[in-house]
Amino acid sequence: MISASGVAAQITELFLAVALAPLMTGWVNQCRAWLQNKSGPGPLQPYRMLGKLFQKESVIAYGASPLFRITPYILFGGMCLAAAIVPTLATDLPFNTAADAIALVGLFALVRVFISLAAMDIGTAFGTLGARREMMIGFLAEPALLMVLFTASLISQSTSLSITVGKLLQMDLAIYPSLAFAGIAFTMVLLAENARIPIDNPATHLELTMIHEAMILEYSGRHLALIEWAASLKLFVYACIGIALFLPFGIAQGGDSLGLILALPVLVAKLAVGGALLAVIETVSAKMRIFRAPEFLGTAFLLAVLGMLVHFLLES
Amino acid sequence: MLPLSSQVINLLAAILLLLAFAMLTQRRILSLINLFALQGLTLALSTAVVAWSTGQSHLYWSALVTFALKVVVLPWILHRLIRRLNVKWDVETLLNIPTTMLIGIVLVILAFNLALPISQLAGTITKSTLGIAMASMLLAFLMMITRSKAVPQVIGFLAMENALFFAATSATYGMPMVVELGIALDVLVGMIILGVFFFQIRERFDSLDIRHLEKLKEE
Amino acid sequence: MEIFFVLGSPLLGGVLLSLWGHRKFAAELNSLMSVATFAAAAALTVRVISDGPMITPDEQFFVDPLNVFLVALTAFVSMTTSLFSRPYMRIEQAHGKLTDARLRLYHSMYQLFSFTMLLVLLTNNMGILWVALEAATLTTVLLVSLYRTPASLEAAWKYFILCGVGIAQALFGTILLYFASERVLGSGGGALLWTHLQHVAGSLEPTVMSLAFVFLLVGYGTKVGLVPLHNWLPDAHAEGPTPVSAVLSGLLLNVALYALIRCKVLVDGALQTPFAGNLMMGFGLLSVVVAAFFLSRQRDIKRMFAYSSIEHMGLTTFAFGMGGPIASFAGLLHMTVHSLTKSAIFFAAGHAAQKSGTQIMDDIRGLIKVNPTIGWGLMLGTVAILGMPPFGVFASEFLILTSAMRQQPWATPFLLVSLGVAFAAIFSKVQPMVFGDTNAKRLPHPPALVPVFAHLLIVLLLGLYIPPYLADWYRQAAKLIG
């Protein structure tokens, strides 16, 4: 049912996501700088970067196909849709019915396919390199992510994220080993999919070690701005999925406007803590060599499967 | 909704299984020994929690013996051993790590299925953890099979014994004290003998690679 | 009271020899302690003959028809082996294969090994049974690798790991057993006492007991040397010093089988189906067949006889699996005579290897020429173990085969063929070793062959006449086994 509060929640969520995503990325970078004993450019730096990029001219290579041009828009649109589906502030979103958790994974996959194709479009070596690696990480991370979502849906008997969150909010406060395993697995998948250390270094300038950065080497101007924004949005959305599944307290249930208003500061607080935690993880880990990535993601898959099995054994 | 002690025991059981997997996929000997010590700690904690929640005081002694043996003495012996043998290499495995993990998952599913009829019969509060105990045992067994160096094989053996101890605690609130002490003694003596034995092997082969010990074949 | 001496004597011996095991009198001390153990065991046996089965007041140790003759047998063979070990080890020392430290280890571990075996036989507690059996493995691991050759190190490693893994399975089986019994007998030490368990066997949970038996069979079966868990046996029995091979082959296998039988009795009581028996028959038959065929390919004399041990233990397991008064009687008799004969063979083979400087059979020739006693010892021992009348092995094999023909006729051709193949293989290998031209050297010290002939004499006697109390025990034990 589409209720007024639902529509309000939906619009608020969408705008919030789009507006706050760069801030989250900036916050993570700032925390990293602090941990490395630097003063850092401040958490608003990504906005300045986006502003700068939008004003610049977008230069496109000679042999680029239309795919190259429309990919940034598809990326951004896909991430906005994902942000609309994930219940960050409330659970009664009209977009609920658009996609459940599995379709969400499919949406991410679609986005990944487009960026990989665009990377290969120009025909440079590094673009193809990045695309190949991205697909490898993707095909290893997806089963893990699906398993995590399955574990959560086993508890809530539905794959829709909103229903899952609603169910989790109603459950008693207890220690659920299956969710603990799934949480760790999800964190590992988050690190892999968002091109964070230990899989990929977002601040690297060494092309041979890049995964995500290598794919966007050819982009400039507004295209690059949209792609960077979409990447921030992806991190934001992933973080919100994690919060929804594992730390759902504070999310407003249907028709609760006061709850909706209270949900905002709770969300900001959770994201701040999560961002700091991400910075800590990035600082204490070292980037893995590429051939170790399958082991990393295999471990994530394993943990997720374990979580599911443990759920069957201990909690049912 | 289970009482808090049961939740804690379930969590510790899950951590035990996680550690068994971690040992299976671990590459460095030093981390392997530390994981083994951690497993012993988890075991001692869970025994203590069971003792507290069911009032069986002999389990406190059991937890103490486990702690002393498996968290302090055995890891200490192992650390000393690898220091003196100078064997801090990366472990080689027969199968690559993702394959080992997949086989491990299959074994876990197998163990859970096997343990289901028995746990239904058990009268303890920890009966659902029997499946985890069996799974840990099978994983330790897999670890023994897929390693080609001596020290990880031995650690796999000790991990198997850990899992069996957990099975005893989860199915029956622990074996009688005298039996448990006997088992602990066996494990300790076994470790000491192994220590001596490693030196003999090393003296002979200048290496602790098990593949040197595969020459006696059928003629 | 006697039980205390039977167990205390080897334990004391172990402690003393760990201090003095390298002195000149060490071998004599070893033999002395073993003689003391045997004396205590004999006293115990006499007591049981006159008073019947007994159990200590705290119910932790007991003697019934099943383990009384095994206790006597174990003590006897330990004693004769220690008497044999004296000159044998002297020769080994003269050949330069042993240092002082190793001698100390050897002597003390020998005594401790006797202790653990007797503990397995006398204890009433299934948990302590497990502990003692594992301890028996541990005491012998370092003995197998005594010579520090690559082959012996490998053998000891395999022995330790494979038996260790196996016995871990047996531990799980014991845990399941405790689990089943706790529901009936309550928790605490009483729930693992065999005498109690035997009484309430009918009310033990069948599913748990059958799962427990599978694990116990895998675990204790590894120590008995049942195929396919036998990999460690040929190596371990071939690479250690001969006295160690003799006690491993002759005694430890028996003791492990004894543990298995105790479990089988409980499981049969709980299940009331022939599940346990069928499993034992299957593994036993497999062992007989596989061992017989591997036998013919062996080139090392001790390995060959180790495979022969696998074959005979397989046969015994098969007999116990069949069940019934005659088959169980035959199994018990076979355990006794195999133990005596196999140790005698190892004694002779050990000296033969010392004379020729090698264990490869192709290189040992014409023993009769240089040392008739060794030659004849080996020949007679071989003839005995192959089941020729009038030795006792013939009697037990005959009984097993006839029971098989009556109860499990499908198995009989396999058994006959395997026994025939083993006969041909062993005889064809031993014959040229004993007769023909020789290349053997003189030994620095005279060999000890009294034990060899003592054993063979007993086996001969048992083949001709079984004393009434012995037959009575066998019958009562057979009834116990079911």
Q: Which two tokens stand for residue A276?
A: 């700091």
Q: Which two tokens stand for residue C258?
A: 């004894």
Q: How confident is the model at residue B128 (pLDDT cuts 50, 70, 90)?
A: confident
Measured CA distances, A196 to A238, A293, C53 (Å): 13, 12, 75
Distance between CA A206 and CA A145 in Å, rounded?
29
Among the partner-chain residues C145, C178, C188, the one whose CB lies closest to the CB of B197 is C145
Whether B119 has a pLDDT exceeding 80, the answer reads no
Query: Would you call C205 and B137 a contact, using CB atoms and an 8 Å cutoff?
Result: no
State the average pLDDT over residues C113-122. Answer: 91
Query: Would you call A310 and B17 a contact, using CB atoms and an 8 Å cutoff?
Result: yes
* A227-279 pLDDT, tens digit each: 999 999 999 999 999 988 888 877 777 666 777 778 888 888 999 999 999 99
Residue of C179, C230, C232 to mutate for B, most B C-beta atoms under 10 A: C179
Query: Would you call C154 and B189 a contact, using CB atoms and an 8 Å cutoff?
Result: no
H or E stretch covering A31: helix A4-35
Domain ranges across chain A: 4-314
Query: Would you call B179 and C131 a contact, using CB atoms and an 8 Å cutoff?
Result: yes
Query: Would you call C148 and B200 a contact, using CB atoms and an 8 Å cutoff?
Result: yes
At B122 the pLDDT is 66
A–C touching, 3+ CB–CB pairs within 8 Å: no
Peptide bond into C65 cis (omega under 30): no
Q: How confident is the model at residue B50 (pLDDT cuts 50, 70, 90)?
A: confident
At A77 the pLDDT is 93
Measured between beta carbons, which residues in chain B are less than 8 angstroms from residue A185?
A: none
Distance from CA of B202 to the nearest CA of A (A): 31
Q: How confident is the model at residue C319 (pLDDT cuts 50, 70, 90)?
A: very high
At B219 the pLDDT is 43
Number of CB atoms found within 10 A of residue A198's CB: 19
At B210 the pLDDT is 64
Among the partner-chain residues A174, A298, A303, the one whose CB lies closest to the CB of B98 is A298
Say which residue, C406 or B124, is predicted with more confidence. Answer: C406
Measured CA distances, B126 to B112, B139, B169, C205 (Å): 14, 20, 8, 19
SS3 assignment for B41-107: HHHHHHHHHHHHHHCCCHHHHHHHHHHHHHHHHHHHHHHHHHHHHCCCCECCECCCHHHHHHHHHHH
Query: Would you call C141 and B164 a contact, using CB atoms and an 8 Å cutoff?
Result: no
At B94 the pLDDT is 72
Query: Would you call A309 and B108 a contact, using CB atoms and an 8 Å cutoff?
Result: yes
Rounded to 5 degrees, φ, ψ at A2 are: -95, 110
Whether A25 has a pLDDT exceeding 70, the answer reads yes
**pLDDT above 70 coverage of chain A, percent:** 97
Whether A4 has a pLDDT exceeding 60, the answer reads yes
Among the partner-chain residues B164, B182, B205, the one whose CB lies closest to the CB of C131 is B182
* A122-175 pLDDT, tens digit each: 888 888 999 999 999 999 899 999 999 988 888 888 888 888 888 888 877 777
State the average pLDDT over residues A175-195. Answer: 89
Measured between beta carbons, which residues in chain C are less than 8 angstroms from residue B123?
A: 183
Quote helix, strand, coil % in chain B, to nearest 5: 80, 5, 15
Residue of A178, A314, A316 to mutate for B, most B C-beta atoms under 10 A: A314
Angle at B178 between CA B174 and CA B183, to 5 degrees: 75
H or E stretch covering C128: helix C126-144
At C125 the pLDDT is 87
Going by C-alpha positions, the residue among C99, C76, C121 that lies closest to residue C21 is C99
Say which residue, A222 or B10, is predicted with more confidence. Answer: A222
Going by C-alpha positions, the residue among C39, C31, C20 that lies closest to residue C85 is C31
Among the partner-chain residues C153, C235, C294, the one whose CB lies closest to the CB of B200 is C153
Chain B contacts in chain C segment 82-101 (CB below 8 A): none
Measured CA distances, A85 to A91, A93, C163 (Å): 10, 8, 58
* B130-164 pLDDT, tens digit each: 888 888 988 998 888 887 777 888 888 899 988 88
Measured CA distances, C117 to B12, C73, C215, C251, C258 (Å): 38, 11, 21, 8, 11
- How high does pLDDT run on average in chain C? 85
Distance from CA of B123 to the nearest CA of A (A): 15
Distance between CA A49 and CA C42 in Å, rounded?
96
Distance between CA A102 and CA A152 in Å, rounded?
12
Distance between CA C72 and CA C89 in Å, rounded?
25
Distance from CA of B95 to the nearest CA of A (A): 13
Whether B217 has a pLDDT exceeding 80, the answer reads no
Distance from CA of B204 to the nearest CA of A (A): 35
**pLDDT above 70 coverage of chain C, percent:** 98
Query: Would you call B1 and A172 a contact, using CB atoms and an 8 Å cutoff?
Result: yes
Residue of A170, A292, A302, A305 to mutate for B, most B C-beta atoms under 10 A: A302
Interface predicted TM-score of the whole assembly (ipTM), two decimals: 0.83
Highest mean pLDDT among A65-74, A282-291, B210-219, C90-99: A65-74
Q: How confident is the model at residue A53 (pLDDT cuts 50, 70, 90)?
A: very high
